[in-house]
Every structure is written in structure tokens, then in C-alpha cells.
Amino acid sequence: MYAGPPGIPHWEVREDSSREVLVALYLRDALGVVDPSGLPRLLGTGLGDVPETDPRLSFGWLRWWIPLIEPDARGWEFPDGDDPFAVAVRRHLDSARAWATVAHEQYNGAAIARMQRPDTVLNELVTERTAVVGREPRHFRLRIEVLPLTASGVWWIGDEAIAVDDTSRDEPILYRDLLAPIVAQIV
């Protein structure tokens, strides 16, 4: 977690590669759901290309996804029985959980390695932006999901959440360049 210095309006950034998000994205890819955020497919899942899915599966996935990434979204009860979404998810859930556990452990290893060197990118970007706009930063929260993706970049996945690919996260200059426009928007 990163937070602004004491005495200025509060801001908070949390970084993770949460198992829940990894499971949901694995299922998205396994079910052939088209993600409206444009977030690329996951890397290393072993899943082949899946034709675009039944709209009922896409709808079910989106209803499940939104509460995962939006802290104020109302939860959604997972359907039971013969609901097409529930049946499709059950078919892939064990594989999704196993893959997510491995991916999360890989993220943790990379995060520990990053902790060995100073990571001041966010503080620097916020400080630079406040100098440009001539005021203290607004209160903001940002969740960063670091994900093994098939493409490099950063994507908004929620009102207060972005995804960044793990390769870009490990390249400090590229990571800074990707975060600069995000910080400019929210500060």
C-alpha cells in the first residue's frame, strides 16, 4: 500500500494480484466472455481460443465481476443448479483456482523482489502533478491489479481500479510512463 504524506489530503493506492480477480479472469477466458474494458487475455493459462460465448454467460460473468472490482457495488449471489453460467463456471472452477494460486505466488515473489529497491514512482508522480496543477491532491483511492497478460499496458477495470501487466510493472521507467496519465486524471 502506498499513501500520501501526513498533513495533506489522504490518498491511498493498493497493489495486488488478487486470487479472486485471477480466478474471474481465468473464467472469463475459459468461457469466451468479451471483456468490455478491453483487458487482454491472461498469459500462461494453457487455454485455447474460445469463440465468443452465449450472451447469458457474458451477462453472468459481468454481474460477478463488477462487485469484485467495485468496492461499493452490491454483491451478487452466484446462481445455483442448472443456470447456464453456474454450470459453465463449475466446469472450469478447479482449474481456475489452481492457476490463480500459482499466479498469485509468482506475483508475491516479484513483489518481494521489488521491495528490495526503493519504489517511489507513485509519490513522485503525485508530487509532480500537484506542482503542475498548483494545489494539493484530491482524496483518491486506487487499486492496482498486477496481472500476467498477453499484452503490455494499463487498463481501467473499475472506477477506482486499474490493471497493469506484470512485465510493465517490473520495468520502472515503463511503469512510470503508464501510471503518469492515470495519476494526472485522479489527482
Query: Measuring CA to CA, which residue among 54, 77, 62, 76 is closest to residue 25?
Result: 62
Sign of CA dihedral 122, 182, 17, 70: positive
What is the pLDDT tens value at each position of the chain, 187 positions in all? Answer: 555 556 655 788 899 999 999 999 999 999 999 888 899 999 999 999 888 788 989 999 999 899 999 878 777 777 778 889 999 999 999 999 999 999 999 999 998 888 887 778 888 898 899 889 888 888 888 999 999 999 999 999 999 999 999 999 999 899 999 999 999 999 8
Strand partners, 42: 149
Query: Measuring CA to CA, which residue among 16, 17, 22, 52 is closest to residue 35?
Result: 52
For residue 107, which amino acid is it?
Y
* 37 DSSP 8-state letter: T
Strand partners, 15: 144
